[in-house]
Structure 1
Amino acid sequence: MDVNNTAFALIGLLTAFSSLAVEKIPQEITTFITQADSCEYLAGEWDNMLPVARQQSLEKEINEVCSAAKTQQAQLRLRYRTHDDLLEMINRYDF
């Protein structure tokens, strides 16, 4: 097997394993992770050197997105309190 075929086989294998892992994660947790990542991204975008209008716009977005993520996190912590692997994903974020 040449290098290209080996690489494609490895990629296929990794894709199959990652698909299995993703299927076991409840949709509400993947939705939360997306929301939490958006919160972290937006918070990282804020800068006091930005124009005031952009700062205000970002602050509004951050408040909406991060508040929703924080609420989701509290609900998911309660719902998945006995699932250590899922709880670890939920607890990675600190708002």
Structure 2
Amino acid sequence: MMPGSKLTKAQITAALAESSGLDKKAVASVLDALATLAAKQLGPDGPGEITLPGLVKLKAKATPATADRQGVNPFTKEPMLIKGKPASRKVRATPVKALKDDVGA
């Protein structure tokens, strides 16, 4: 592995398996379960927040829909209709203090 290169899912699984003493299949199933749990917690029926201890806090925020509005084409100076955006959920990640201290950010 080259310094500064991103780890793939397979490399992360292998590294976690080696350091924890579990087999790769068990580590992969834990990661999949963690992803499923995070999706449930951040979904519309969940509390909208989950903290992965020692790593990151994930928060989901519902953004409302925006309406269509009138605008002006900057090139032709003619009025035009700017399409609105549908409602959505955004996910924000914030590192926890322990990770900030370890990284030195």
Q: Is the TM-score greater than 0.5? A: no
TM-score, L = length of structure 2: 0.28
Where is the helix percentage greater, Structure 1 or Structure 2?
1
Q: Which has the higher contact order (CA 8 A, sep 6+)?
A: 1
Give the greater-gyration-radius structure (CA): 2
